[in-house]
Amino acid sequence: MGIAFKVAEDLADGGNRVDDVVGRFRSGFQSSSGRPVSLDAFRLTTGDPDVAAAIAGIMGSDDTGISEWDTVTEEKLQVFTETSEVDIIVEPGSIKATLVLWSQRGKKIVETDGTCLIVDGVLTSEPWEGASKSLKQLKEDASNGIGPGPSLQCYFRLANHPELGKLKYFSGSWTAIADFNRAELRVEAIGGPASATLGLERVEFTTNAGKDVSYVKPSLRVFEKFEGATE
């Protein structure tokens, strides 16, 4: 698996490098009461008003347009878009699907690919002690703060507007691990810039116990070498 992100070439500008992340795509927000709320369309956060305006124009926005939100980061602007799927460009190393246990101070205690430990970003041959646990137990351990949970990452550029720069999307979805893992392996096999889609899918069903369940699942699909890529 690719671990470190390789800085991509700006395919729309003669090979100039785009080093800085200019914004983050999100699939939810926190209500005024502190409750997490999932979204059916992407929300962008950024510190750059030009990026916010561009995304609002490309992906649409709700009635709030470009607004500010309470954050300790530099990404003080937000846009609730009207788009649930977007065409993107990804590079080898730009997608990562691991399980991570964080400390209260935001430091990694454990990182694993599900089988072996990852140390300082490098996959080792040292077995992870939780590899034999069931998915149910892994979820319980993560919920109780004693085991790692999903850490899904994707750094990308918009396929039709790569000049905007690098964007990112993070997720802690258990149901999306397989998608991200397949995408990670696929782009590594391609070995260069690849076309992909990043989307949000609303999943709804009723359990055998009669409970209605509804959640948003991120999806990531990598297709083939990006046609606009330079050799």
Q: How many domains does the chain have?
A: 2
Residues above pLDDT 90, as percent of the chain? 77
Residue 172 lies in a domain: yes
Same domain for 120 and 36: no
> What pLDDT does 5 receive?
26
> What pLDDT does 17 receive?
38
Same domain for 111 and 196: no
Residue 79 lies in a domain: yes
| pLDDT of 212 above 70 | yes
Same domain for 218 and 178: yes
Mean pLDDT, the chain, rounded, equals 88
Same domain for 140 and 77: no
What average pLDDT does the segment 1-26 reach?
50
Same domain for 66 and 130: no
Same domain for 158 and 140: no
Instruction: Supply the pTM of this predicted model.
Output: 0.84
Residue range 93-124, pLDDT digits in tens: 999 999 999 998 888 999 999 999 999 989 99
| pLDDT of 14 above 60 | no
In this structure, what token pair is assigned to residue 192? 């260069």
Same domain for 143 and 116: yes
Residues above pLDDT 70, as percent of the chain? 90
- Burial category of 3 from C-beta neighbours within 10 Å (exposed 0-12, middle 13-18, buried 19 and up): middle
Same domain for 156 and 220: yes
Q: Which domain holds residue 203?
A: 21-93+152-225
Specify whether the CB–CB gap between 153 and 95 falls below 8 A: yes
Residue 7 lies in a domain: no
> What pLDDT does 19 receive?
54
Same domain for 219 and 135: no
Same domain for 113 and 82: no
Task: Name the residue with higher pLDDT: 32 or 83.
Answer: 83
Same domain for 140 and 183: no
SS (H, E, C) the chain: CCCCCCCCECCCCCCCECCCEEEEEEEEEECCCCCEEEEEEEEEEECCHHHHHHHHHHHCCCCCCEEECCCCCCCCEEEECCCCEEEEEECCCCEEEEEEEECCCCCEEEEECCCEEEECCEEEEEECCCCCCCHHHHHHHHHCCCCCEEEEEEEEEECCCHHHCEEEEEECCCCCHHHHHHHHHHHHHHCCCEEEEEEEEEEEEECCCCCEEEEEEEEEEEEEECCCCCC
Same domain for 164 and 195: yes
